[in-house]
Structures are given as C-alpha cells and as structure tokens.
Structure 1
Amino acid sequence: MSTPLEAILKAIESAVPPPPEPIDLKEAGLSQRDALLAVCDAIEVWRSDEGETYATVRVGNHREHHAVGSRAFRDWMLGELARQYVNKGRPASATEGAVGDARMGLEARAHLSGVRKPAVLRVATRAERLYVDLGQPEWNAVEIDGEGWRCVVEAPVPILRTRRTSAFPVPKQSSDFSGLRRLLDRLSEDDFILLVAWCVGAFLDGVPYPILILGGEQGSGKSTMARLAQALTDPVNGDLLQPPGDDRDLIAAARNNRVLAFDNFSGIKADLADSLCRLATGSEIGGRALYSNHETATFSARRPMILNGIPDLAARGDLADRAIVLRLEAPAQRVTERDWARNVAAILPATLGAIFNAIATGMARLEQTPTPDLRMADFARFIVAAEPALPWPTGGFLAAYRRNRGQAIAALAEGDLVATAVRNFIESRETWTGRLSDLYETLSVTMSPEARRSGDWPGNARWFSDRLRRAAPTLKALGVGVVERRGGTGLTVNIGKIASLASLASSDDVGVPRDSDASDASDARFRVLTEAHPENASTETTGWSEVIP
C-alpha cells in the first residue's frame, strides 16, 4: 500500500504529458541547419554592449546563459536536436558546417531584435539588489539587498559562465569571521582587516577595485593566499593565472574570469601597469593592435585583481596608488596542502555568509555614510558603511587602510631617488619656480658619483622629466605638488608644498582629463603631475602636465 506522499507524486507524474515523439527530419523536409534553428525558436538571443551574441536557454527548471559561439551552447543545440528530431530512426545530429550556419542565423536574429544586455560574470545588479551566481549546476544564486541575503532559484538577470567558472559552497547564514581569522592567524590585524575588506569589495558592481598585491620572499605563502582570496570571491576551475605579456593576454583573462589572480610576477612594465590600473578602474584597454585588419577595438570592464611576486610590485607609483599591499612572512609552522584545503573548505560556508551579511549592511547604510578623503573612495566608503557587520571596531578599516598607504608611499619614496631629491629640495622652501632643465641641473649637483653611474639618477633632463612624472603619486601623497606652465620662454615648473601651490594656479595651466577614478575625494583639490594625452605626445614633449581646478 502506497503512502500519501507516494500517491501524490504518482498523481503528479501521471498528469504530466509525455514528451512529444521526435520528428523525422526527412519527412519534415528540414535540413540540419533549419532543424537547429527550429530548436532555437523558443530561446532568447541578445547582444552585449560589445556586440557579442548570447542566448538564454531553459534547462530543466532553470535558465542558462551562454555565448552563441561557445562550446556550452553548441552542446545544448546538439542535445536539443537529438531530443526533438530523428534521422533514419536515430537521434539526429549535425555537421559543424550546419552548426556554424545556425549560429550565423542566430546572430542575425539577435542583431535584428536590438536587445542588448550587460555581459557580466559572477555578479550582477538589478533594482537595488545584488546577485551572485553560486556556480552550481542548478544555476541558483544569492540575492542581497539592504535587508539581508537569501538563496534564490535563479538570478533575474543574465550572469554568464566560462569554462573557468567553479562553484561556491552553499553559504551559511552567519556573521562569523572567526574561522577565517584562525586560518590566517599569521596575518597582522591590519592585514587581516584589509584582506577581508578587499574580499567584500570584490563583490561590488560598478565601482573601481583596489588591486590586492601580495609580496614576500619565496616560501611566504603568496600563492596560497592568492588562492584563498580567489576561493572567497570567484572560485575557478584550474589554478592561478600566468602573468599577462600584453593587452591581448590581459583581455583574454578578463573575458574568462571575474577575479583575475596572477601568480609569480617577476616585474611589471609601464604599459602593462597602466592597463592593469585601467582594468581595475573601468577604463578602456586594447586598441588597434587587437586586430590584424587595423580596425580599432577596445575592451571595457572592471575586474578585481590579485598580483603576487617576489619583487616589490608596488614599487610602481601608478599601481601603489590603487593597491592594498600585504607583505607576507614565512609561516612559523607549515601545513600540508591537503590539510590546508580541508581547513579552507570547513570555513568557507560561514565566511561567505558573513561576507554577504556585510554587503547587505553596507547597502543599507551606504547613503548615510560620508565619502572618505581617500583614493579609491567608492570602495572605502562601502567598507565603512559595512563596518557594523565586520570583525573590527568602527574606524578600524580607515585606520588600517591609511597606514597601508603610508607604508607603500614610504617604500616608494625610499626606493625612488628622484622623489627623495625633490622632497628634500622643497623641504626648506614653500615653492620653487624655474625651468625643468634648471631643476635637473640643481638636483644633479647633490647626487653622488655612484648614483649617477648606477643609473639610479637620470642621465639627462628628458629622462628626469619621465621619472618626475612617474614619481607624481608619491610626491602628491607626501604633500609635494608639481605644476607645469608653458609660455614664450618654454617650459616652467612650479614645485612646492601643495597648500602653497594652490595660489599659483591660473587659467593658462595645461589641463588633462581626470582618469576613471577622478571622483576620489583625494583629487578634489587638484591633480598633480598627470600623464598628458597620449595622442598629443611626441619626442618633443615632456609627457606630463598639471591641472588645478
């Protein structure tokens, strides 16, 4: 005798109509291409802002979103073809040519529909709610708003996946970071605060992200820490990424990962450092070099990033200005990879729940939270808003963040002879005005023969100009500003303490647009020694200019 539940399930099963009989391709007079398009009649196709075509398909009780050119969508099409059609009594199949023709038809359909949607990975927003794809086979998600967070069957907006996308564990309703703190007991309190803050910030949508830089000697656990940060924000199939060689590599990584975790940088060239900063803040990268037919193409997105390496990657001022820098020491006691993985798995559900709880708190309190006077102000403001749900006292984040920036600036100044020379030169003055070449000659006199021979000191005024431009963020943070003026007598430079320089501003200062992080409160007064328009640069220009609003 069946139980009531079994009877109900049997009744439901009998009420569901059986699937329709497969259609014979020959009898229906359909080509493989036409049959593939027929199975796609009920799906939605749309285009991203970059013009790529995507499809939203229903699989069982959930929807999935795939690029029309992806392997996942190809597999879905062929699976539906085999389910709905037969050929000579067997499940129908199709050639790669037919698949390609069907894809072209879907691209045309998407173009004609005019439907455009953001192409996003892992995280999306809609109507004051944040959605996080858990990466599980059911395509369920977490929904976060100012009232809390909850698991939902699916996000109401498309969130894409790639072959790298892996699954979060099901998060646990929690506000407990103690498991993570025990796991990271070798971190200082400041470093723990900043790591948690970075993880919370990595889930935000539409704001510039600080770059997490992990430094330390060999054996200090940089790669292990990078893997943990990625597991907490965007778990992947596979390991950490190899450092990109150029913009092509960086764009490819950004298309396949929301959080880019790069392992073992041996150094960062100026062009790559600029592209990393642009990707963190949302500026375009790429250009004509991406295509062999000389078309211009750009890639625009924001991505949280993790960089690790033995060299001091924050020694570049442009990176340090947008970074959280953790310098790791070797652990006092080693653990096996298996034990570490088990320990991480044990704390992930509660830690994820605590991160989502902090995000909900930040969303609820953001409007009433003032903007800090800091670089990366959007990120900093959100963390301050979320502090009641974070494992430190109110004000702890800003104090740790300022100390971290101060340490990075001090390290930059110590390692940059030009920044040190300019700072020492202006220490006993309020301002100095003169030609750039005169400044170079004046400072060169104070340099030792060893500094000149080693290359630490620029060998000519043009090289000095470039070094001065790169030292600008460090000098600005140290309270020293540089203003360029162009006149009939050539290039004149005003150097001084920032408060004194404000009085020297005039309408003929050479201005340049602010970068994508220009809303930062720290730039509200004026922007010092910023790069000039690259399209206007030449071998005859100094490559830097200044604006004071």
Structure 2
Amino acid sequence: MRNDPFAPVERNATSAVAAPASGWTAVAPVPENAAPPPVRHSRLGTPSQRWCYRNASGKLLFIACRFDTDEGKQFLPLSYGRDEQTGANAWRWKGLPEPRPLYRLDGLEAEPKAAVIVTEGEKAADAAAAMLPGFVVTTSPNGSKSARKADWSPLSGRRVIIWPDADEPGAAYAEAVMQCLAQAGAASVSVMRLPEGLPAGFDAADAFAEGWMDAQLQALIQASDEAGVSVSASGADDGEAEGAAEPKKQRTKKPSAFDFLPDETEFWHDPDRESHVTYPTGDHFEHWPVRHRFFKSYVAGIYYEKTGEALGSSALDDTIRIMEAKAQSGACYPTFRRVGAHDGDYFLDLCDQDWRAVRVTKGRWTVGQFPHVKFLRSASARALPEPQRGAGYRDLKPFINVGSEQDLMLVTAWLVAALRPEGPYPLLCVSGEQGSGKSSVTDLLANLIDAEIGKKRTVSKDERDLVIAAKNGHVLAFDNMSSVANWFSDSLCRLSTGGGFATRALHTDNEQIVLEAQRPVILNGIPDLTGRADLSDRAIAIHLPRIPEEERQTERHLKEELERMRPYLLGALLDAVSEGLSRRASVKLANPPRMADFAEWIEACSPAFGWEPGQFLEAYRLSRTDAAKVALENDPFGSELIRIIKRHRATGFSGTATHLLEVLNEHAAPAIKNMRVWPSTAATLGTLVRRAAPLLRSEGYAVTDSRTAEGRMIIIRPLSSAHPNEETGV
C-alpha cells in the first residue's frame, strides 16, 4: 500500500482507490458554488470520519477521510479541482500539491498569541483541543510519515509543544516536526514528556477517552518546558548550544478561563444528566445550563477582565465542553422552574436581578436568597413583585369577570394549587362570548404567579412545541382556542396528572427532549373546552359573562390598578400556601373526588380565605358536574352507552367487549350507529369505554375490568353496589 495517499498517482497505477487522468489541477479554497463532495467512495464505502482542512479565513481547502475496512483503517484525501482537458470542475480522491496546509488554520489565525499543540493526526488534534482550551491545536496531513510535506510557516514566531504518540513512529514524527519548526522560525519548540507505562500508540484521543483534565496536561507541558527540550533555528537542542550567554527564559503558560472562576463556582448535573453551573456574581449566586448564552458571556467577560484579551470562539467552545464534563462528575441536584421545594418547604422564584425567592414554611413566608434551591430561568421570564401582606382573595374580583362567588373560589383554588411544586394540577378552562374578558383573565392569572413575556400561546403545532414550553416554564396558557384536538387533550391530561413526554430534539437524529412533569395549564375560548371526558375529569370550568358597556374600564386604568395590587394579591396566595403547609398532614377527606391531592391541598389552605370546611369541596363538585354534562353532550357514543345501560342494564353489565358490543348494537339508535364514532370492533369499543368512564361515573356507574379464563371482562355497575369513589380500571 502506498505510504502517502496524498501523493500524485503514477500514470500506470491500477489501484481502484485513485487513478485519475493526467492534467487535473486542484482548486483551493473550494468555491462556494462548488457541488457537494461525494458521501462515499466507490470501493471503500462511506468514510467513518471526515476532517475539513480550512485556510486562515475558514474557507474549505480539502477533506481528509478515514475508512475502516476489514483490512484495517485507510486514509484518503478528497479535494476539488479542474480537468485541464475538459475544463470541468469536480471532486477527486486525491490530495493537494506540496507543501500541504496544516489542520485548523482558522484557529491559529483567531488566536495569534496562543501557544500551539501539535499532535499526530486529526482525531488526536480534536481531542487535545477539547482538553486544552487555552491552546490552539494543529497537525499535518497524513500523520507520521508526511510531516516534511506540510507548510509549517504559520507557526513562525509561535511557542509550540509537540504531543507525540507513545511509540517509535510517534517519536520519529516529533523529531521531524521539530526540524520543520526550526526551519519555519518557531519561537520555541518542546516535546511533551508523557508518563511512563502508557500503552503503545497512546495518543491525545486516548487521553481524552480516559478523562485527562486540563490541570494534569498543564503539568506535563510545564515539565517539558523546564526540561529544556526545545530547538533553535539550527536544529540543535537549546540546552546544547555552544556559547549560550544565558539560559532560556521560561515562558508562562497562557491562562485558562478556569483560572479566573470564583472558588465558589460549582459544576453539577440534574437527574436527566444535563450539565449546569452555579457561580457567584455581585452579591448573589446564579444557576444556568453550562451551554446557556448567559454563562458563556460571563466566562468570556471574566477572561477579558483578567487578561485584557478576548477569548476566541474556538477556545470558548473547548472550555465549555470541559465544563460540561466536570458537571457530569459533580453533584446531582433537582432543578425547578418558578416553584420549588426543599426539606418540606416551598419556594417561589421572584426572578429578579438579585435572584431572590420566597420561602414558604408552616405558618409564615419570607423573602431572601436561597442558592441551595436550583432554580433555572428562561430568557422570557420576568420578575414578580415582592409580596406584601394585607389583602384577601376577594381583592382579585375587580380584575376578573367571574359570574359568581363559586367561580371566584375555584379560580383562587387553581392559583393556590399552581404555587405547589408538585401536582396534580387541575386544568383551568375559561369560556365566554366575545367581550367577556377571557384573554385578560388568562393573562392576569398566569402572570400573577409566573410572569413571562408572551405568556399566552396559540395551540402548539405538535407535541414537541408543548414539551419545550413545559420544560422551560411553569404555567402554560393557551389563548383563543376554538376546539381541543384529541392529541392535545391527551397531552394536557398528562401535564395535569403526570406522565412522560419524549420527542426528538431539533437538528439531531437520536437525541431526545425528555420531560416527566406536571404543569398548571389555563386555556380559554368561546366554546366550552371540556368536551372530552378525560379532560373534563381533570378540569375546572369557568364561564365568563359579557361585560356590560357601562362597566368597562380602560386597559391603562386596569393595568395601573393591577400593578398596585399585585404584591398584595401574591401575598394573600402565599398566606394560603403557608396555612396549607401547616394543616395538610391533618386534613383527610372522607370521600375524596378525582384529583384528590388537589382537593385535599385546597381544603388545607381554606381557612386562610375564611372558607368553611367543605365549602370548596361543594363548589368543586358542582363544577365537575357541569363539566361532565358538557362532556356528555359532546360524546355521542358515551351518551348512547349511558342511555342503554340505564334502560336495559340498570343493574349493570359484566362480560367481554364482544358481548358488550352486541348489546349496544341491539339497542342503539340507528342514527347513532351510523356515525363514524360508533365502534365497529371489540378493540375499538374498549378504547371508547375507557374514555367514557368519567361520564359513566358522573351518572352513577363505575367501570372496572378483570381477566378471566374467558378473556378480559368489562364490568359496569352502579356505584351504590361498589365503593362510592371506585375509579375505572379499564
């Protein structure tokens, strides 16, 4: 096999790897309008790795490709050029003429004062760059035997450290590079002294895989400098130069951004293995994902403040990668958005510039800084006012157009529930005709506890948008909905009572955005939005009356008054949360409804609002009954199922899905059976019965299932003959 695949191929060569006709001239850099390079080689297949060689301006010169075959690894260059006979331009599997460019020339140009690391091979160069963010890393094309065929002049006047592979070819490559650099006029050249006992061929890529860190490598580099392994332009060791007037001055290593981070900086990860950092700035601590632009700006700023130099984009990216690695070996903490918990206390992030939060304990709440609670913020999050005491829940009434005391109580309950860091959370469904203030109410309620720019959203296009919104905020608000699609209803139910989401991250093939959480949700529209039985079972439905013309206020006046009252309204809600923490252990509901945790929590908070025991539960029961009626009216199958059970199977039904379908087909009205929603198979029927279970329960029937020798049995029976609160098991 040819030692240098970059060399021109002889005219009589018969290798299928490269046999271009004569008269071909390389064109570099590659024109911007050039055709894309081929993705595979005719014999070797698709490259396992590609490395783009670019000039100092970042323009592509050629591509080095690695192929992993049954015979071992093989490298081929891929360059762009012109056929002098035909004048046609094309990509060819051959290299540029000598002297060939070094790897990562754009990085050398971007960091003119940085010391340079030279490795053997592009893979090792990329690994060294990730481990040594304060250096620029390069190599020559085609590894150990082609060092003298490269153009080393870009390293003139630079301090260079050679990182050789741990074998004889590596030592020979280092020697050849030293001589080339001496001729190129490098300011100094040293060879890294590697630890003894390394496996043969051990290189920078192996060091990266084993987790070598910046500090360990800096020590090896410093030891190499102190050992005096460097060359002058003559090629002789500096330590052996005759008549040297004085020993060579030691050069100070270029500082890393790590050197300037405060001692209190902590790199950590969350349960999803995402990397984060906590660092002090001003008089407070902040928490950010390591890759967040705010933290990147902080790192670049502190580096400039300490050195007077800009941290190049390549060095910054390398630094961030190392920080992410450190975070993965750090502590694991849960993260929170707007509301959090720690040791039984609740916390509300005010999202102000001082990173203050409200700590709510049994019987009291206080405002302060609590850096041990890892709050994350989105760029759109806005500050809440510092809460004040002195208001009650009825002070909310002038700002929301609810039609009754019951609706005001339910809205207040939804707000208090949303201040808990864990669900379940009821879905607040607000309906009303035009001019009833639906959008204003939605905006006020959502921003009262989770202020954010553009809080109200239109319906998500798909589940990915919903997952991203839920991952980056606490309260989700959807405005002006005309209907609730089936997929969206299912997703809202999972956000309400808990469930996992997973969707592919944008611009990736295998990375996922994963979310397993519960979120408070508010949605509004002209029609009733609780048409699906499973959604109505988790909803608080509020209908707003139209605002009479004589009672309308200007938006400016309403906003001014709301801004004045926001601290007091928030304080009233926090008083209730504090009361709930004091009483929740002693509150036990005799007949808990669906969303029992929510109902029990609000009952514990009720004394803070002056509500009598059971007063909220009755309002909640009436709301659920109304929502169930709306769902029943919107579900032709569920309505017909209930009619048939009541009329023909009043004592209940027990049998297979096939048997139940026969019963329904026998008694169903022809107009209903001809509708598309009517089941045609037993499998479809099982799904529809599961969805109709909340409707049956609202009409006094429990739905369960069991498995017998005959198969899966569906059981529908009156609640009077079952547990009063038996939930569906279908």
State the TM bucket, normalised to the shorter chain. Answer: 0.7 to 0.9
Structure 1 26/177 Cα, relative in aligned 2: closer, same or farther at 3 Å?
A: same
1:210 shift after superposition: 1.1
Tell me the equivalent position of 2:486.
270
Cα distance in 2, alignment partners of residues 298 and 435 from structure 1: 37
1:456 shift after superposition: 5.8
Match of 1:342 among 556, 560, 566: 560
SS in 2 for 1:74: helix
Tell me the equivalent position of 2:627.
408
Match of 2:661 among 440, 445, 460: 440
1:162 shift after superposition: 0.9
Determine whether 1:528 maps to 2:721: no
Question: Structure 1 length normalisation: TM-score?
Answer: 0.80
Tell me the equivalent position of 1:38.
259
Moved more, 246-255 or 324-333: 324-333
1:245 shift after superposition: 2.3
Cα distance in 2, alignment partners of residues 221 and 375 from structure 1: 29
Cα distance in 1, alignment partners of residues 482 and 322 from structure 2: 46
Q: Deviations over 1:390-423 (max 9, x none)?
A: 1533322111111101111122223323222222
Match of 2:301 among 74, 79, 83: 79
Structure 1 31/38 Cα, relative in aligned 2: closer, same or farther at 3 Å?
A: farther
Tell me the equivalent position of 2:436.
220
Q: Deviations over 1:218-275 (max 9, x none)?
A: 3322211111111221011224122222221111101221111122233333333222
Q: Deviations over 1:427-455 (max 9, x none)?
A: 25212344534433443454444444554
**What aligned pairs does 1:92-111 form with structure 2 within 5 A after superposition?**
92-111=309-328
Cα distance in 2, alignment partners of residues 290 and 76 from structure 1: 26
Structure 1 210/365 Cα, relative in aligned 2: closer, same or farther at 3 Å?
A: same
SS in 1 for 2:354: coil
Determine whether 1:426 maps to 2:645: yes
Q: Deviations over 1:25-84 (max 9, x none)?
A: 969995499532323363111101111111111111111111111111112112212222
1:356 shift after superposition: 0.6
1:126 shift after superposition: 1.5
Determine whether 1:63 maps to 2:285: yes
Moved more, 482-491 or 388-397: 482-491
Tell me the equivalent position of 1:184.
400
Tell me the equivalent position of 2:719.
498
SS in 1 for 2:622: helix
Match of 2:607 among 388, 410, 414: 388
Cα distance in 1, alignment partners of residues 604 and 706 from structure 2: 41
Cα distance in 2, alignment partners of residues 166 and 307 from structure 1: 21
Moved more, 172-181 or 319-328: 172-181
8 Å Cα contact 1:426/1:497 also seen in 2: no
1:478 shift after superposition: 2.1
Determine whether 1:482 maps to 2:703: yes
Question: Structure 2 length normalisation: TM-score?
Answer: 0.61
1:485 shift after superposition: 5.1
Count of aligned pairs between the two proteins? 479
Structure 1 435/393 Cα, relative in aligned 2: closer, same or farther at 3 Å?
A: closer
8 Å Cα contact 1:221/1:328 also seen in 2: yes
SS in 2 for 1:373: coil
8 Å Cα contact 1:143/1:155 also seen in 2: no
Cα distance in 2, alignment partners of residues 40 and 281 from structure 1: 42
Amino acid at match of 2:717: G
Unaligned runs of 5+ in 1: 1-24, 87-91, 503-520, 530-545
Q: Deviations over 1:346-395 (max 9, x none)?
A: 22111111111111111111111114511111121111111111153332
Cα distance in 2, alignment partners of residues 139 and 308 from structure 1: 32
Determine whether 1:472 maps to 2:688: no
Tell me the equivalent position of 2:461.
245
8 Å Cα contact 1:140/1:152 also seen in 2: yes
Cα distance in 2, alignment partners of residues 73 and 98 from structure 1: 15
Tell me the equivalent position of 1:230.
446
Determine whether 1:360 maps to 2:578: yes
Structure 1 427/452 Cα, relative in aligned 2: closer, same or farther at 3 Å?
A: closer
**What aligned pairs does 1:12-51 form with structure 2 within 5 A after superposition?**
30-31=134-135, 35-40=256-261, 42=263, 43-51=265-273
**What aligned pairs does 1:157-172 form with structure 2 within 5 A after superposition?**
157-172=373-388
Q: Deviations over 1:62-111 (max 9, x none)?
A: 1111111111111211221222221xxxxx22232222111101011111
Cα distance in 2, alignment partners of residues 458 and 345 from structure 1: 53
**What aligned pairs does 1:257-406 form with structure 2 within 5 A after superposition?**
257-286=473-502, 292-294=508-510, 298-332=514-548, 333-371=551-589, 373-406=592-625
Cα distance in 1, alignment partners of residues 678 and 484 from structure 2: 20
Moved more, 116-125 or 75-84: 75-84
1:212 shift after superposition: 1.2
Determine whether 1:211 maps to 2:427: yes
**What aligned pairs does 1:88-167 form with structure 2 within 5 A after superposition?**
92-113=309-330, 115-167=331-383
Unaligned runs of 5+ in 2: 1-111, 117-133, 137-253
8 Å Cα contact 2:427/2:521 also seen in 1: yes
- Greater relative contact order: 1 or 2 (C-alpha under 8 angstroms, separation 6 or more)? 1
Amino acid at match of 2:333: K
8 Å Cα contact 2:402/2:543 also seen in 1: no
8 Å Cα contact 1:46/1:53 also seen in 2: yes
Structure 1 61/483 Cα, relative in aligned 2: closer, same or farther at 3 Å?
A: closer
1:167 shift after superposition: 0.7
Structure 1 155/105 Cα, relative in aligned 2: closer, same or farther at 3 Å?
A: closer
8 Å Cα contact 1:141/1:155 also seen in 2: no
Cα distance in 2, alignment partners of residues 304 and 341 from structure 1: 24
Q: Larger % of helix: which?
A: 1
CA RMSD of superposed structures (Å): 2.8
